[in-house]
Amino acid sequence: MSIANSDTTTFPNNSSSSTSLNTNLVENVNPQVSLNPATALEKYKKKDSSKVVVRFRAIGNAPILKQNFYKITASNKFQAVIQFLRKELNYKASDPLFLYINSAFSPAPDEIVANLHKCFSTDQHLIINYCTSAAWG
């Protein structure tokens, strides 16, 4: 079975028009974007140092933290928040701990904290409810 292309466009083989087209493309490139892959890779590897304010709220019989507000690096995964809270509560990895965003859902451990903050923050705070038994979702 052959497919025929009925909408074929041919361009004249004029080197001056292709040269002017190429220079126009180079001139319209954003000067802030680096054409060097090594510098682009270095920029990608650099960690984002911006912080997100997180508020922890205890639910049920979970122990209450002395301090409820913390600043956490925005580029961290949610797994880092889980580990941080376990450390603050002196919980072992075998102790049950459930975390929820805005008393609604439990995010995946590989979710980025900045994305959660951008989508679900309340008054510029990411509210994380925690408990020792499953409560929601």
**What is the rounded CA–CA span in Å between residue 48 and residue 62?**
32
**What is the rounded CA–CA span in Å between residue 24 and residue 114?**
38
Q: Give 25's pLDDT tier (boundaries 50, 70, 90).
A: very low
Edge-first strand listing for the sheet containing 69-73: 69-73, 51-58, 126-131, 98-101
DSSP secondary structure string, 6-31? Answer: S--------HHHHHHHHHHHHHTS-T
pLDDT at 16 over 90: no
Contacts of 55 (CB under 8 A, 6+ apart): 68, 69, 125, 126, 127, 128
How do residues 28-39 score in pLDDT, each as one tens digit?
Answer: 555 555 567 777
- 3-class SS letters over 65-79: CCCCEEEEECCCEHH
> What pLDDT sits at residue 133?
86
How do residues 58-98 score in pLDDT, each as one tens digit?
Answer: 999 899 999 999 999 999 999 999 999 999 999 998 999 99
**Token representation of residue 7:** 């909408």
**What is the rounded CA–CA span in Å between residue 20 and residue 57?**
62
> What pLDDT sits at residue 13?
54
In the chain, the domains with their CATH numbers are 51-131 (3.10.20.90)
